[in-house]
Structure 1
């Protein structure tokens, strides 16, 4: 089977000492590797631009929600807008990290957790809440990073809203493993009562956590109700 390959051809004449043409020298260079490298570079540039635009578009949506929330007087609905904005920000941050990464396919999730969780605390203006990040140096692809980031967003938000009536306490986010990943989000607050089934609660946040953990990550989620709330999610890195 014939196959076309890119070739660079250079031709020069061969002459004797009197300037008479004796023939020609033809040299061909296979440009396949060069062509493939150029195509890969263009794809990387395109992918980088896509991540950049997705991040910018999400930031625009977040800003629009922020502007719209200023015209809402009822606290319950303002809080819904804030939670939606934080979900969008958690996804936008992933695309920002992908844009900054060398491979454009994976992000350092420890750096992502640190930036995202600190941003959440600032959005709630909770200076009395201490944060602790215990994360291995783990890289995750976008298909795993997005649901994992949303889970952290929901659990940290839930702790900020409900765990600390006196606005004092600590939230710890841990990420451990290689291949099999364990995500831990815990607080030392008032805890979740035994009467509440977090898988069937009426609140969107905890229901979303279950859906993301079990359906998106194909993982297992457990809750330890001891001296606060401690969620463990175990899943395979994709």
Structure 2
């Protein structure tokens, strides 16, 4: 082993050189003392290493907290900027007389609002990485009902907790916004009452299924929803493809849009 110190023994008072047997207890004592000293040195080294690592961890924690604050501030500012754009559109809409142009302004506002809500939920959540899309569905449905519904339209939501990153949540929110807006505006015109069902569930294979159904008159038979002049349905198809999903329409009773998306 390595030397950790020197044990010095003076000559006996009688001047006789000690034999091996007499020195044996001293050798045992020296070995044990060396072990104690070495253990103390190792303990001191360990303490220094732990202190160094704790300092490094504290620096990492401080850095992460700083980045978390900055990220929340970014989401907050994006949401506020989107709200400003929406407010500007609302002010401009006050000077529009043409009903079609006014409807286009309202559609743009709802799309901007759907994106702003994603950022709002992100900066309000403890987890800045994703949002619970089930909560988002409830909030967006309530907003669109206040915006577009002129009659009594019941909205039934059956949504499992599904957590999406911002890359999924923004296009997913736009898809939901278009389908719900179309249902409120076209399935129940002139103040008619009706029902909209929204469901969100995970399959055994890990895919996510978003379904929006209404009991209105359904789409006219001559309209191909995958090849239409409607900007809303064009957005739905384009964003579904962007997410690698599929979309189907069942028009047997009303309109039932089913979006199937791969694992997040």
Please give the TM-score of this superposition, normalised by the length of structure 1.
Answer: 0.86
Matched, 1:170 2:195: yes
Distance in 2 between residues matched to 1:104 and 1:194, nearest whole Å? 44
- Deviations for 1:82-111, whole angstroms, at most 9, x for unmatched residues? 000000000000100001111111111111
- Residues 212 and 258 of structure 2 are in contact (CA less than 8 Å); yes or no, is this contact kept in structure 1? yes
Candidates 203, 206, 226, aligned match of 2:230: 203
Q: Secondary structure at the match of 1:103?
A: coil
- Residues 225 and 233 of structure 2 are in contact (CA less than 8 Å); yes or no, is this contact kept in structure 1? yes
Question: What corresponds to 1:77 in structure 2?
Answer: 101
Where does structure 2 lack aligned partners over 5 or more consecutive residues? Answer: 1-43
- Residues 149 and 185 of structure 2 are in contact (CA less than 8 Å); yes or no, is this contact kept in structure 1? no
Distance in 1 between residues matched to 2:111 and 2:135, nearest whole Å? 18
Distance in 2 between residues matched to 1:208 and 1:97, nearest whole Å? 23
Q: Which entry has the higher C-alpha Rg, 1 or 2? A: 2
Question: What corresponds to 1:32 in structure 2?
Answer: 56
Candidates 92, 101, 107, aligned match of 2:116: 92
Query: C-alpha displacement at 1:127, in angstroms?
Result: 4.1
Candidates 206, 220, 224, aligned match of 2:250: 224
Between Structure 1 and Structure 2, which shows a larger proportion of strand residues? 1
- Deviations for 1:161-202, whole angstroms, at most 9, x for unmatched residues? 111235211011111006310000110000012321101111
Q: 1:31-70 alignment to 2 at 5 Å?
A: 31-70=55-94
Aligned length: 213
Please give the TM-score of this superposition, normalised by the length of structure 2.
Answer: 0.78
Question: What corresponds to 2:23 in structure 1?
Answer: none
Distance in 1 between residues matched to 2:209 and 2:236, nearest whole Å? 15
Where does structure 1 lack aligned partners over 5 or more consecutive residues? Answer: 1-24
Distance in 1 between residues matched to 2:194 and 2:148, nearest whole Å? 14
Q: Secondary structure at the match of 1:171?
A: strand
Distance in 2 between residues matched to 1:125 and 1:206, nearest whole Å? 19
Distance in 2 between residues matched to 1:198 and 1:160, nearest whole Å? 17
Distance in 2 between residues matched to 1:213 and 1:39, nearest whole Å? 37
